[in-house]
């Protein structure tokens, strides 16, 4: 199904090539799959038990709590890389995703987590994306799966993370009527994401740029 059309419109798709080239030119070529415990979500980590799907697990003091409704969750499938910087970037990447969805569920872009885990063009795109949902009185239900993660570091404060999403089990829901749009699964249910992250002064890996390719064959089963 197609539950993120607004996001695609908000993103600068030309950034995909730039992000890919930057990642390929980074100083670290070791891929990693997925992340650890995430806010407001479930996890496919084979090495750790699943956290409560509706509540975030702030890894350190001062991090905002992210909550999801009972009828929606994100699932992140991954294994830790063993590299502290990579694993931190991967975890904060998942929290960035959750922060955007939390804003949709709360019906507001003025949430603490949205600006905490996103910055620059990624924050602007996320706000546009969330507002697209709100203008149409949309939210979503079901499960979105994120998988095939790869992370590359560029110096001490930059990272590039690519991953796929499977939206075949998540559906748009009208916020007022409660009607769920049970759309069929198509190639467009699968999306390839290219993201750039920067570590800020507080040690948070914020997503600063993002581009996506809906229907990518890379992500299709």
> In the predicted model, is pLDDT for residue 211 greater than 50?
yes
Contacts of 98 (CB under 8 A, 6+ apart): 38, 39, 40, 41, 56, 66, 68, 74, 113
Cα–Cα distance, 114 to 95 (Å, whole number): 9
3-state SS class at 86: helix
CB-CB contact of 206 with 89 (8 Å)? no
In percent, how much of the chain has pLDDT > 90?
70
CB-CB contact of 81 with 183 (8 Å)? no
Cα–Cα distance, 215 to 208 (Å, whole number): 23
3-state SS class at 177: coil
- Report CA torsion sign: 188, 192, 198, 200: positive
CA-based radius of gyration for the chain: 16
pTM above 0.75, yes or no: yes
Residues 125-139, mean pLDDT to the nearest whole number:
95
Identify the pLDDT of residue 62: 83
Residues 82-105: tens digit of each pLDDT:
999 999 999 999 999 999 999 999
Identify the pLDDT of residue 83: 97
Contacts of 57 (CB under 8 A, 6+ apart): 37, 38, 39, 51
Cα 214 to Cα 38, 104, 131, 180, 192: the distances in Å are 24, 20, 20, 22, 6
- Residue 53 has, within 13 A of its CA and on its CB side, a CA count of 15
CB-CB contact of 157 with 199 (8 Å)? yes
Question: Going by DSSP bridges, is the β-strand pair 205-214/190-199 parallel, antiparallel, or unpaired?
Answer: antiparallel
Residues 119-130: tens digit of each pLDDT:
999 999 999 999
Exposed / middle / buried, residue 20 (Cβ in 10 Å: 0-12, 13-18, 19+): middle
CB-CB contact of 109 with 127 (8 Å)? yes
Identify the pLDDT of residue 169: 96
Identify the pLDDT of residue 109: 97
End-to-end CA distance of the chain: 14
């Amino acid at each position: 199904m197609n539950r993120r059309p607004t996001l695609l419109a908000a993103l600068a798709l030309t950034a995909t090539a730039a992000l890919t080239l930057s990642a390929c030119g980074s100083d670290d070529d070791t891929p990693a799959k997925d992340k650890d415990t995430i806010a407001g979500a479930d996890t496919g980590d084979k090495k750790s038990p699943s956290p409560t799907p509706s509540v975030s697990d702030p890894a350190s003091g001062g991090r905002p709590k992210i909550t999801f409704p009972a009828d929606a969750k994100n699932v992140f499938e991954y294994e830790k890389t063993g590299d502290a910087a990579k694993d931190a970037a991967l975890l904060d990447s998942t929290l960035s995703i959750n922060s955007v969805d939390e804003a949709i569920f709360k019906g507001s872009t003025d949430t603490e987590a949205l600006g905490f885990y996103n910055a620059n063009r990624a924050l602007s795109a996320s706000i546009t994306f969330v507002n697209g949902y709100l203008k149409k009185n949309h939210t979503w239900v079901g499960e979105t799966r994120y998988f095939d993660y790869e992370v590359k570091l560029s110096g001490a404060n930059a990272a590039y993370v690519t991953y796929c999403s499977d939206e075949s089990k998540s559906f748009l829901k009208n916020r007022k009527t409660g009607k769920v749009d049970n759309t069929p699964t198509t190639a467009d249910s699968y999306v390839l994401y290219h993201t750039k992250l920067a570590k800020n002064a507080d040690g948070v890996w914020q997503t600063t740029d993002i581009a996506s390719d809906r229907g990518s064959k890379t992500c299709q089963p």
